Every structure is written in structure tokens, then in C-alpha cells.
Structure 1
């Protein structure tokens, strides 16, 4: 389940792409197995998440023999202090990360530093009003260790990124079917692991992810602009 649209990243063969806050590797794996051969790097603060992303490479088939060369490197690291030289990446993705970090401006400054002039940066965060409902339904939702520490308004985040020397060229929303799932979890926070309602909705989302039936895909297309859980913005670094 991808939040970013890789087709909006203007990827080209041989580009070096960073998935910052890669988690268990959903975007990292998609980049590696993309038909366009890339050199991908995944960084996450959690060593456990990095190990899970690494293990994920062995759960998928290897590239076809004689396919164009590609590479993947993973590391645990702090998004506010990245161990990369200036202007060393062509593209950077940062999906559902900035709402977790104590100093988003420090992370954005690092992204601006390591991204090449005219490079593209894609960021996604929880959309303001669906996220605000989650916060109202459950204080534990945003008080768990490693949880969300802020809610972004789209314009405010866009302006924060622009101050680092970027221009925004595209925006869209994602995961319209997921907002009710999170509202349900927050409403039943203490019982969410055992709730039949939460379990059934999770199975529905898993079925949608695997089968991609036209009905739910159409519903997602209709609902994402209205109640998508995430907002995604694409920026270009001013040369």
C-alpha cells in the first residue's frame, strides 16, 4: 500500500533515492522493484524497522536475470542528522514521518542539504481534520511512545518546506478508506486488539489491498479527496 505516487517523482534510471523514515520498507521495496532501475537508500530511527525492511527483500522474488542493475542500502539513523554529503540524492521521500519528529524544521533542512538542485522531495503527513478526530476520540492515540506529536495543516507545512528553498508543484490525498478505520480504532482504543468491528474492518482493508476490486478502488478514488487519511505534496528544490 503506497502513499506516494512514484510516477509523480519523475524517476530516471540510475537515480539515487532516499526513503527517509522507511519503516518496514513499503516505499523502499516499491522503489527497488520499480521498472526503472534505481539506487535506493532506506533510513529509519528504529533498528527493528530497518531489520524488518531488510528481511522484506527476501520475501519477494529477485529481479529478473539480466535486468538493469539496481541497489538497496539500509541504515538506522536520525533524520535530523543524516550521514550523507551535500547534494548526494536525486529524490527524497518522507512518508508519515514529520508528525513524529520533535523538530520538523531540522529534518527539512537536512533534506534540503542532501538533495541535489532541481531534485524532487515528496512528503506525506496525516491530513488535518481526520487526524484531529482521532486526537479527540483518544488521548492515548497520540500519547503512545513514538506516536504523533503534532497535527499539520497543509498550507502551514507547505510554507515550512518552501522556506527551505523548495517550490510545491503537486498535491493529492490518499487512503480515503482508512480514515474510518482509524476513527474506529480510536473510539475503541482500549479494546482495539480484541474488537470484532476493528478486526473486520482490518480484514476488509487487507482484502482491498490484495484483490483491488473495482468497487473499492472506485470508492477510494471518490473518498480520498474528501476524507483521505494522508495529504501528499511534491516539491522541487530551487537550483
Structure 2
């Protein structure tokens, strides 16, 4: 079972169920898509980077072969642009857009597309870097953020700002969370060493600590994560729904 430690979105709070049509925008390494598949959702994992797709497709196929995802559920891995989603209106019950909005100039356009493809009474979750940890990263390293780096971060979200943009798209925000507090110091160290420096001994040592935490989930790091999540969580997660009475054409 995928460790909850690796997930940014709380799938119980998002209420992902068997039979749901689930869209993962910016699926990346596929961790959220794998969890959706385990829960019996029909998964569409979409990413703009073609290099991310073969591994995801192989993993989802392997999960089906060994029975880790329920029989009868399907999974599609495809390349796509978050601003022009290649799906009809009202196609999905659940949508995730994880660590994508901060990279795209027209974040309102992405949220409008999510509203378009979400079914009435559907739910979505958006994750972005949280304000304080991200602000420190920007302060520590100009190389970390745009416009100096292709694909860099274009803006820093506050919680009210993210909720306002979700609401402006016609979705109904219904709560936020913070997670991955132990990841914030890792990124601060990376910024100090240089974001593209993969040989720094301190950064490597801290990365080993994170891997140990994900594998072993010891009480001491889990307690620290719980206590520090709200002030230092690296990711801000916003949940929202599309009311059944939205009145959209189906």
C-alpha cells in the first residue's frame, strides 16, 4: 500500500471511491495516480513532460497484473496541456492538480479547465508550495525560481490567494491543509547548496533521512511532522467542490 507519507493530497478527504473517474494533472512520478488506482478509480494520469509517461504506464499496468488495483478499473497515461485539457465537459468525478499552478502564468485558465471537466457534485484538490517555506527558498536562491530557470516558480501563493482563485473559477473552496513539513529544510539546504547541485554531502544526508522516514515512519519524525505541518509544511493543499446545482450543460 502506498504510504500516506508520500501523498500530498488526503484521499479520504477528497473522497476518492471505486468507480470514480479521476484526473491527475501534472501526475509526475504517479504517486497520486497509483493511490487512486488502488482505490478502484478509473485513472487518467496527464503530464506535459513525455519522459514521465513510460514509467507511470508501466507501474499502473503492473499494479493491474498483480491485482493491486481492482479488476475492471482502467488507467490511461497521456501527455497533455493543463490549459487545454483534451476531455469533454463534465468528464471527471475527482481532479487533482499537484505542484502545477505555480509554474503556469495563466493559473486561472487551468482552474477554469478543471471546473469545465469536473462533474457537478465533483471534487478537486490543488497543491502548491506554501508561502513561508517558499518565500525562504526564493530568498536563499535566485536560481530556484523564475525567470532564471525554465519551468521555475512564477508566484508564491498565500492560502487566501489560492482559495480566491479557486472560487473565482466557479468552484467552492471547503478547506485547506499543510503537509510535508520535514521537506522544507531539505529544500532550504538545496537552495543554499545550489538547486542543481546533487553532490552536496549535507543535502544527501538529509535526503537519506527523508527516505528513512518514508520507509520506516518512526514515531519521532511522524510526531514532528504533525506538530510542524501548519507552520512549516512545504505544500499547501486546497480542497473544493463543484455544486450539483451549478447548472452546467452535461
What TM-score comes out, normalization by structure 1 length?
A: 0.94
SS, match of residue 158 in structure 1: helix
Asked if 1:77 is matched to 2:54, the reply is no
Equivalent pairs counted in the alignment come to 237
SS, match of residue 122 in structure 1: strand
Structure 2 equivalent of residue 39 of structure 1 = 42
Q: For 2:183, which of 168, 175, 178 is the aligned residue? A: 178
1:192–1:198 contact (8 Å) kept in structure 2: no
Change (3 A) 1:109 1:190: closer
SS, match of residue 57 in structure 1: helix
Asked if 1:90 is matched to 2:121, the reply is no
Q: Gapped runs of 5+ residues in structure 1?
A: none
The RMSD of aligned alpha carbons is: 1.8
For residues 174 and 158 of structure 2, the distance between their equivalents in structure 1, rounded to whole angstroms, comes to: 18
1:184–1:198 contact (8 Å) kept in structure 2: yes
Structure 2 equivalent of residue 160 of structure 1 = 165
SS, match of residue 87 in structure 1: coil
Structure 1 equivalent of residue 156 of structure 2 = 151
Change (3 A) 1:212 1:62: farther
Q: For 1:229, which of 230, 234, 238 is the aligned residue? A: 234
Q: Gapped runs of 5+ residues in structure 2?
A: 1-5
Q: Deviations over 1:8-58 (max 9, x none)?
A: 112232110000110121111111122xx1101011111111223223335
Kindly state the Cα deviation for residue 87 of structure 1 after the two structures are TM-superposed.
Answer: 0.5
